[in-house]
Structure 1
Amino acid sequence: MFKRTTFAIAIAALSVVSTGAFADQLADIKQKGTLVCGTLGTSEPFSFPDPQTREVTGYDVDFCKALAKSLGVKPELKLIAVAARIPELQQGRVDVVIANLGWTAERAQQIAYSHQYFASEQKVAVKKDSGIRGIKDLGGKRVSATKGSTSEQAVRKSIPTATTVTFQDPPSGFLALQQGKVEGFALSEMSLVKFAQQSEATAPVVILDQSLILEPWGVGMRKEEAALIKHVNGTLEAMEKGGEAAKLFDKWMGPATQYKMRRGFHVEAIKG
């Protein structure tokens, strides 16, 4: 009798553990009342400190808020490094990642991607007086990029003879260019425009015309969370159909902003 009772208790315990291991994250988020969103906080205009309020704001942050609103919960931002985006997600420290997360085949094996909510051209900035006119001119030279980013991967793939020098965040990589430690700095075109504007008076740079790659960005989620993935994609589709997604683009990057860009993409499934 004792052995049967012990066995029954053991089975029950395993059942509890199993249920916890495969719990529905969507339901958990609603129950706790917050959506923990991993974002960078160092990448204007996507996520950066507002100089007036010091609160982190931006395009990525607004998508975090929109997803939280769709779930009826509060958004909670957690600032993470570029290289920590996937580990933080896999270890359950964040619910989703909305942090300049470009799609790559390698990443797609580790995590689930939502539909694209942005499409980024990866380009290279060089000093204005460097004499460098194109990507091919960077062969054999040093190019900085953020560690673990698609910019780093793009440099290694598109300029294989260049020496890729990595840094923890974009400002550090750009400072290396200004200080002459590298000859080029790779980043998304949007962010490069801002850096170029900030340095125009002191150390002017130019952005090379040729793109390294064009990458779709998606919301990162854990692969096993089917309900959350479906909800996020449904929310993004609704934002596209209702015009909210386009309004957020115009708010941060559109014709009335310093970037003066026009939206050339739509929310749609990423075609890997």
Structure 2
Amino acid sequence: MKRTMTLFIALAIALSMITTAFAGNLTVATDTNFPPFEFKDPKTGEHTGFDVEIWAAIAKEIGVQYDLQPMAFKGIVPGLQSAQLDAGIAGMSITDKRKEVIDFSDGYYDSGLLLLVKSDDETIKDIKTLDGKVVATKQGTTSVEFLKENANPKEVKLFPNDNAMFMELLTGGVDAVMFDKPVVESFVSKRGKDEVKIVGDLYAGQPYGIGFPKGSELVAKVNAALKTLKANGTYGTLYKKWFGVDPR
């Protein structure tokens, strides 16, 4: 009886430790550089952005603490798949392929892909005119597969972050960049102003979702929190702060 009671107490303690760790020490991945969604503030050295702040609001709403883990985008899905991460919020498009290996929250931002060229380029009008051209995009993103399936460029150059691919365009190392709408638009209005232009349509419109390991209990809680944040105006306030317009 004493041995059984000892085992029971040990099991109870172990379960308590697991529950406490889950409730109070989530590891949440985000991209290292994907403005305005996530990036390091040069003044404070802290990561900030729409994703970072919307997750902070979600965590507060559902009552969890977490450690933010900036990392290369290409490592986030594998990290969720292996359950080394509890969640990932990094401007991640909800795709059927990704849904095979991880779970997603409801969409929290509607995006798509845009094609960017130098302002004096008259040869590229859309993805149909990428034949023989060199196109840059970011490793591990949906734009890689989209280019392979819908265009015929001479080469697709892959970069670890968007700063590198944009610089490659400005210096003439590539003919075009294809990447997510908010990032491209932000670059056009700031660093690339008067030097680059968007051509073609908005391609592959997809919502961004928060990723989780398969079967995670956090999905339902996060979806409920998102609905609350939209209803009480928190979501709209953060959206306007980072994108300059009200959510549609």
| 1:199 is aligned to 2:181 | no
Distance of 2:53 and 2:154 partners within structure 1 = 36
Deviates more, 1:227-236 or 1:132-141: 132-141
Provide the rounded CA distance (Å) in 2 between the counterparts of 1:160 and 1:241. Answer: 44
- Secondary structure of 2:36's counterpart equals coil
Q: 1:220 aligns with which of 175, 200, 211?
A: 211
1:47 aligned onto 2:31: no
| Equivalent position to 1:235, from 218, 225, 232 | 225
**Deviations 1:59-84 (CA, angstroms, capped at 9, x unpaired):** 00012212221232333210111111
Aligned to 1:37: 28
- Paired residue for 2:173? 181
2:120 equivalent in structure 1: 129
- Structure 1 contact 254–263 (Cα < 8 Å) conserved: no
* Equivalent AA in structure 1 for residue 224 of structure 2: G
TM-score normalized with structure 2 length: 0.86
Verify the 8 A CA contact 1:34 1:68 in the aligned structure 2. no
- Code of the aligned partner of 1:100: G
Map Cα deviations across residues 139-197 of structure 1 (whole Å, 9 max, x no partner).
23111111110121222222144522111111111122122221111111211122222
Q: Does 1:100 align with 2:84?
A: no
CA distance in 1, matches of 2:55, 2:160: 23
User: Separation in 1 of the partners of 2:145 and 2:22?
Assistant: 33
What secondary structure, in the 3-state scheme, does the structure 1 residue paired with 2:209 have?
A: strand
- Structure 2 match to 1:263: 247
In 2, the alpha carbon distance for the partners of 1:198 and 1:161 equals 26
Which residue among 112, 135, 140 is the counterpart of 1:143?
A: 135
Whole-angstrom distance in 1 between the partners of 2:143 and 2:81: 22
- 1:28 and 1:163, CA in 2 relative to 1: closer, same or farther beyond 3 A? same
In the alignment, which residue of structure 1 is the partner of 2:61? 70
Change in Cα spacing, 1:67 to 1:35, as seen in structure 2 (3 Å) is farther
The amino acid that maps onto 2:99 is: A
Could you say which residue in structure 2 is the equivalent of 1:117?
108
| Contact residue 28 and residue 67 of structure 2 kept, 8 A | yes
Equivalent residue letter for 2:91? N
CA contact (8 A) 2:104 2:209 kept: yes
Report which stretch shifted further, 62-71 or 99-108.
Answer: 62-71
How many residue pairs are counted as aligned between the two chains?
A: 237
Question: Unaligned 5+ residue runs, structure 2?
Answer: none
Unpaired segments ≥5 residues, structure 1: 1-7, 256-261, 265-272
Q: Distance in 1 between matches of 2:19 and 2:87?
A: 11
Deviation, 1:85, is: 1.0
* Amino acid corresponding to residue 182 of structure 1 in structure 2: V
TM-score by length of 1: 0.79
CA distance in 2, matches of 1:37, 1:156: 30
Residue 239 (structure 2) aligned to one of 243, 249, 258? 249
The CA deviation at 1:129 is 1.1
RMSD: 2.5
**C-alpha displacement of 1:233:** 1.0
CA contact 1:126–1:177 (8 Å) conserved in 2: yes
